[in-house]
Structure formats: C-alpha cells, structure tokens
Amino acid sequence: MSQFSTTGAITAPDANNMVRGYYRDNSNHAVTGTTNETDLASTTITANDVGAAGSLNIYAAGTVTNAAAGAKTIKLYFGATAIVTVSRTGANAQDWLIWAKLSNTATGAQRINYIFSTADAVTISGDYTTSAIDTTSGVICKVTGTLANSGDTITQTMFEIDNVQRT
C-alpha cells in the first residue's frame, strides 16, 4: 500500500486499502465471585464488514489478582470458537495481553496469527491457526474470563478491533 498523497484527495483505491477503528471498549470489566465463564467485553462484527480479503487486528489486555491463587483463564472468541486462550496460575497480581490478526482468505475462511502473554510483562507466546467462520453473517467477537477460585479476579481494561480493508 502506498502512502496517502499530502496534496491530493483520497481516491477509491486508497479508501479500499486502509485501516479503520472498528470497536473500542477501554472501560474496566471484571469477573469475580464466580467460577462460571463470564463475558468481559463483546461486540458483533457486522455482516460483510471484513470483506473477502480483509482482516481484523484485535487487541485485549487487563489484569488478574490472586486473593485465592487459583487458575485464571482468559479467552478471545471469534464466533463460537475460542481462538486464543491465556491461563494464569501465579499467586501474585499480573497483567495479561492478547494480540490477534484474523485475515479472511474468503468470506468463510480465516488465517489467524496471535501472540499472548505467558508471564507478567516478561514472556510472550504465539501460534497460527485457521477457522471457517462465515463473515457474510454477523459474528460475535468477545473476551471471556473464568476463575478456578471465586476469590480471584480477572479484569479486562482494553478491547480494541481495527478493520483492515484490502482490494
């Protein structure tokens, strides 16, 4: 993609190859007092918004606290599929993060690259996977938290999605 002209108008090819903010929720959402999987943040990707060759950049981050030092699991879902799972078991407060890029190879096929924190601001891990979600229909994208001990807390402090259009 070439840089936008500083003197001319934005053209249709420019607009068809750009990143735009799609969704942002930077409010704190917490789960505590339960061992049930609980939605921390959720949005619906509107039908056809990604496009056959488009992609989504998804960012989520937050903290965990350990009053009871049980396992804490954070998941990023695209549709009914958990595409990233982060598990924390430490006995101290920690941060967590997820960065995922979901690229359509067709309206019903995706390639997903992701990285996530495996220790507090020290180690990251990553992987590659595929999915077959039909983006010509609305798709829920969400972050959930599950506690092994209801005395612990998972807080989501950031959930952002950018839509990358490609022609």
User: SS3 letters for 48-109?
Assistant: CCCCCCCEEEEEEEEEEECCCCCCEEEEEEECCEEEEEEEECCCCCEEEEEEEEEEEEECCE
CATH code at 41? 2.60.120
pTM, to two decimals: 0.86
Q: Domain limits at 84?
A: 28-164
Domain count, the chain: 1
10-62 confidence digits (pLDDT tens): 555 555 566 778 999 999 999 999 999 999 999 999 999 888 889 999 999 99
Spatial neighbors of 149 by CB under 8 A, at least 6 apart, are 35, 67, 68, 69, 70, 71
Question: Does residue 6 lie within any of the structural domains?
Answer: no
Question: Does residue 8 lie within any of the structural domains?
Answer: no
Question: Does residue 4 lie within any of the structural domains?
Answer: no
Question: Does residue 114 lie within any of the structural domains?
Answer: yes
Question: Does residue 122 lie within any of the structural domains?
Answer: yes
Question: Does residue 1 lie within any of the structural domains?
Answer: no
Question: Does residue 2 lie within any of the structural domains?
Answer: no
Question: Does residue 11 lie within any of the structural domains?
Answer: no
69-114 confidence digits (pLDDT tens): 788 999 999 999 999 999 887 667 788 999 999 999 998 999 999 9
Residue 10 DSSP SS3: coil
pLDDT score, position 46: 93
